[in-house]
Amino acid sequence: MKKYLTFFTLTFFALIFFVSCEEKAQPGVTISADLERPVSCMKLNRLVEDNELLSSLEKLYAFDDSCALTLTLRSKKDIVCNSTNNMMSKNMGKFPKSFIKLELREGLKVQYSYYRDLYSNVDEDDVEEGFERLKKDLLKPTRAE
């Protein structure tokens, strides 16, 4: 009986581990009520360390340097947390390895924000996915209700 209990316990924890690692974090999106949609233009903030991600973003849209709305891409790869507060999350495989953030500002005011934790390092596909969401939220004409 003890062998069966051990087997089922190990199987249970293995299933939890594999299922939890396959989960995809949902993005957090914030849209200002003041933002008029659809957005007609965006300027790209080119002061980003990761030129590969920036160039993939430049391929997706014709940015206009004279626009008042500025899109900033921020990301971080290989996040390491040494805090003991996050020890359980990290050990269970739920600690993010990177993040991506797309932020549209008018002056200092944030008009749109897309943030997503990633369990692998951020890459061009993640940038495309984030920008597709931004396009859906801001660039497609909204229906008059």
Residue 132, SS3 per DSSP: helix
- Strands, E assignment, 69-108: 69-76, 98-106
Average pLDDT, the chain: 80
**Residue 97 confidence (pLDDT):** 82
What is each CA distance from 98 to 80, 118, 130, in whole angstroms? 9, 5, 14
pLDDT in tens, 126-144: 999 999 999 999 987 655 5
Model pLDDT for residues 70-115, shown as the tens digit of each residue: 999 999 876 666 655 555 555 555 677 889 999 999 999 999 999 9
For residues 3-12, b (16+ Cβ closer than 10 Å) or e, as one string? Answer: eeeeeeeeee
Residue 43 corresponds to which amino acid? K
At position 136, the amino acid (one-letter code) is: K
Is residue 78 within 8 Å of 97, Cβ to Cβ?
A: yes
- pTM assigned to the model: 0.72
pLDDT digit string (tens) for 31-54? 999 999 999 999 999 987 778 899
